[in-house]
Amino acid sequence: MSVFPASPLIHSHQHAHAVIDIGSNSVRMVVYHAPVRVPLPLYNEKYYCGLGSGLAATGKLSPEGVKKAQAAIARFVVMANRLGVNAMTVLATAAIRDARDGEAFVRMISKKYQIEVQVISGPKEAELAAMGVLGSIHDPVGISADLGGGSIELASLRHDKIAHQSSFELGVLRMADESGGDPVVIGEMIDAELASLEWLPQVRARMIYAIGGSFRTLAKTHMKQTGYPLPILHEYTLSKRTIDKMVKHLMPMGVKDIGELPGIPAKRAATILPAAMMLQRLMERSGANKVMFSVSGIREGLLYSQLPPKQQKQDPLLASALDLASLAGRQGRYAQELFDWMQPLFKEESDRRKRLRMALCCVSEMAWTIDPNFRGEWAYLRILHSAIKGVDHRERVLLALALYHRHHSKWKQDREELALLDERDRLWARCVGMAANLAFQLSGGKQGNLHHARLTLSGKQVKLALDSEAKPLRTDTVEKKLEGLGETFKALSSFVI
């Protein structure tokens, strides 16, 4: 039985889906390439409009924000038409649903641009944000927290289930406006709202999944200040202790000083302290000791919610890997055959390692169009920088290194992100990659060819058996690769599993 999902992958723009998100702080359009398990962004553009700026005091949308939002939407509608998208969904969140003139704004936009605007409720926004996490992070357990300009949406997650959903009118713009930037007032506002949420301390969360631009800015700032070697926001993880230090550092600073910190756009300077304090209080009240940042939110959650249940249950990593292979023109059953073929070497591996090896088998031949001298380096960087989902940073580097070793037995570079791996990680990546390299020598990467060869173990010695038809394939090159794989396997086996 196949461990790889059978997923038809569509890349024509005629299946593209545009989602416009009209938020309190920004208005964004993302065009996704296809209705698949992990949709890729074909086009992504955002404008800071500040629709919710001053809403707490006036009860109305910012007049300047309305002008900026209208201009952004006008541009997005034209771009969507020019891209030939098949479907468009327009969502409006907290600022629109809370403002006295929100309905009038929706009517104006709908009439002028002939689009339907869905004003979603707070609980619905919480559900979609949580679905964005379900769709992009493997087996999440904890609380999704989507912090916008006008509100925050919370939901509890346990594997593939969403339990509680709550929404509060406590976004970063609202906190900044009502507090005047006073940390004491901000803390009181947050505590008052979270205290009313009975389920928050009861779910015993181990992780907060942080969604939204203000939370992401916190992650970017920490990356720059610490010189983190892999500046990818999705699944970047920080401890509660780090968040506590961040809040302590920000509290005595003015907005101008905060705006001069590395990684913080001037337009977000006033909202960074409220965001950091919100995250700190959420972790305190829920008991979570870590936060993981997610680039997927309500837009991705919307598309995930429209998938059939069977497709929703697919592993996001394997779906991403299959899509990458498809984009490179490599499809078929070879990935499954390769996975089964090298299985004798990895009988004791963990489930998380197994899914990484499955992913490696999916993408093992994706560099075939690249000049042979550069395939290893290209493949490594392709995985490192790709929009794959369902892997943390360590696993991303591990998969990239394994794919490098599919082409080269020895690592020839000096890269900072390798500090995320230990010696056993490196040996595992080398062993998987070298096994895939040997398989290619025997099959040419074509499905149906590996059944002539069989890997076996005699103690810790790797042996290769070929049937009579395949015996001419056994050359000095093959023997050398088998010897290298055997040495690597022995070294890997010396670690206690």
**Residue 158 pLDDT > 50:** yes
444 and 331 within one domain: yes
Domain-embedded: residue 310:
no
Domain-embedded: residue 349:
yes
- For 238, the enclosing helix (H) or strand (E) is strand 237-239
450 and 356 within one domain: yes
**Residue 497 pLDDT > 70:** no
Q: Are β-strands 41-48 and 453-458 bridged in parallel, bridged antiparallel, or unpaired?
A: unpaired
C-alpha–C-alpha distance, residues 198 and 154, integer Å: 12
C-alpha–C-alpha distance, residues 12 and 97, integer Å: 35
170 and 269 within one domain: yes
- Residue 264: pLDDT band with limits 50, 70, 90: confident
138 and 32 within one domain: no
Pseudo-torsion of CA 107, 112, 115, 120, nearest 10°?
Answer: -30
17 and 53 within one domain: yes
Task: Output the pLDDT for position 7.
Answer: 47
- CATH number for the domain spanning 284: value is 3.30.420.150
194 and 81 within one domain: no
Domain-embedded: residue 306:
no
What tens digit of pLDDT does each residue of 329-385 get?
Answer: 777 799 999 999 999 999 989 999 999 999 999 999 999 999 999 999 999 999 999
**Residue 10 pLDDT > 60:** no
Query: Averaged over 163-186, what is the pLDDT?
Result: 92
User: Which of 55-59, 186-190, 464-468 is predicted with the least confidence, judged by mean pLDDT?
Assistant: 55-59
Per the CB < 8 A criterion, the answer to whether 125 and 97 are in contact is: no
402 and 285 within one domain: no
- Residue 259: pLDDT band with limits 50, 70, 90: confident
Question: Is residue 145 exposed (0-12), middle (13-18) or buried (19+ Cβ within 10 Å)?
Answer: buried
Residue percentage of the chain with pLDDT more than 90: 83
Total domains present in the chain: 3
- Residue 14: pLDDT band with limits 50, 70, 90: low
423 and 295 within one domain: no
- Residue 496: pLDDT band with limits 50, 70, 90: low
User: Is residue 42 helix, strand or coil?
Assistant: strand
Mean pLDDT of the chain: 93
Which domain range does residue 340 map to? 315-493
**Residue 2 pLDDT > 70:** no
Task: Output the pLDDT for position 11.
Answer: 44
Domain-embedded: residue 304:
no
Per the CB < 8 A criterion, the answer to whether 86 and 17 are in contact is: yes
In the listed set 266, 299, 332, which residue is the last one of a domain according to the structure? 299
Note the pTM of the prediction, 2 decimals. 0.92
- CATH number for the domain spanning 335: value is 1.10.3210.10
Per-residue burial over 349-388, b = 16 or more CB atoms within 10 Å of its CB, e = otherwise: beeebebbbbbbbbbbbbbeebeeeebbbbbbebbbebeb
